[in-house]
């Protein structure tokens, strides 16, 4: 075995295992640092994906509510003027249409509770206004005189206008869409 005598005299001999450990330490530390940075990057990206997913779910969330609200609107406007028996509507009757709207409202509010704060801030005023206004218009419908006839056309128009307004306000992006007429086709004056 050849040993450098000068190194022995100075006490500087390193076993091969120690030399190997020192030589591997730098790449190992670099690998750990890079891996840590990559894990942080993946965590940030997954947070962004979760946020975008929540936004997509929230944007689609009011569609069931809007459809239920439109079904309730259609039933009420036709029933008030006595045309409900002649219409072929998906939902029929106040109990059914109101039940579907209430379920959709509760479902959308549950989606909002799980959504990021910015989405809750965007939808909360519309949902609160809808809950209040819907209760008021339902009371007006329930208090409407029977029999149902064209004499109730002003109330039918009011119901249609109110629910059409809520439909367009329940989405924070609805102001970008062109407004449709708030007068039901059956209540418009002939041209």
- Digit-coded pLDDT (tens) for 91-118: 778 899 999 999 999 988 888 888 888 8
Whole-angstrom CA distances from 125 to 43, 110, 120 are 33, 15, 9
Q: Can you give the pLDDT at residue 7?
A: 56
Write down the mean pLDDT value for the chain.
78
Task: Enumerate long-range contacts of 38-45, CB under 8 Å, 24 or more apart.
Answer: none
Reported as half-sphere exposure (CB side, CA atoms, 13 A), residue 184 has a value of: 22
Q: Can you give the pLDDT at residue 79?
A: 87
- The Cα 184–Cα 188 span in angstroms is 7
- Digit-coded pLDDT (tens) for 155-177: 888 888 887 776 555 544 444 33
Q: Can you give the pLDDT at residue 100?
A: 92
Domain coordinates in residue numbering, the chain:
12-60, 62-170
SS3 content of the chain, % helix, strand, coil (to 5): 75, 0, 25
Q: Can you give the pLDDT at residue 34?
A: 92
Whether the ω angle into residue 49 lies within 30 degrees of 0, i.e. cis, is no
Q: Can you give the pLDDT at residue 31?
A: 92
Under-70 pLDDT residues of the chain: 1-13, 57-61, 166-191
Q: Can you give the pLDDT at residue 60?
A: 67
């Amino acid at each position: 075995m050849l040993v450098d005598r000068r190194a022995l005299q100075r006490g500087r001999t390193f076993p091969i295992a120690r030399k190997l450990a020192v030589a591997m330490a730098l790449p190992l530390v670099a690998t750990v640092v890079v891996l840590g940075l990559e894990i942080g990057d993946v965590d940030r990206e997954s947070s962004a994906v979760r946020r975008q997913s929540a936004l997509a779910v929230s944007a689609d969330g009011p569609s069931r509510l809007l459809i239920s609200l439109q079904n309730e609107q259609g039933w009420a406007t036709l029933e008030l003027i006595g045309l409900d028996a002649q219409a072929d509507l998906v939902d029929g009757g106040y109990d059914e249409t109101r039940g579907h709207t209430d379920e959709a409202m509760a479902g959308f509010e549950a989606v909002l509770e799980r959504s990021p704060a910015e989405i809750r801030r965007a939808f909360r005023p519309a949902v609160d206004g809808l809950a209040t206004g819907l209760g008021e218009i339902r009371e007006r419908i329930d208090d409407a005189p029977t029999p149902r006839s064209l004499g109730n056309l002003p109330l039918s128009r009011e119901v249609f206008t109110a629910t059409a307004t809520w439909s367009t306000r329940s989405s924070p992006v609805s102001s970008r869409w062109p407004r449709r007429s708030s007068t039901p086709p059956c209540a418009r004056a002939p041209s």
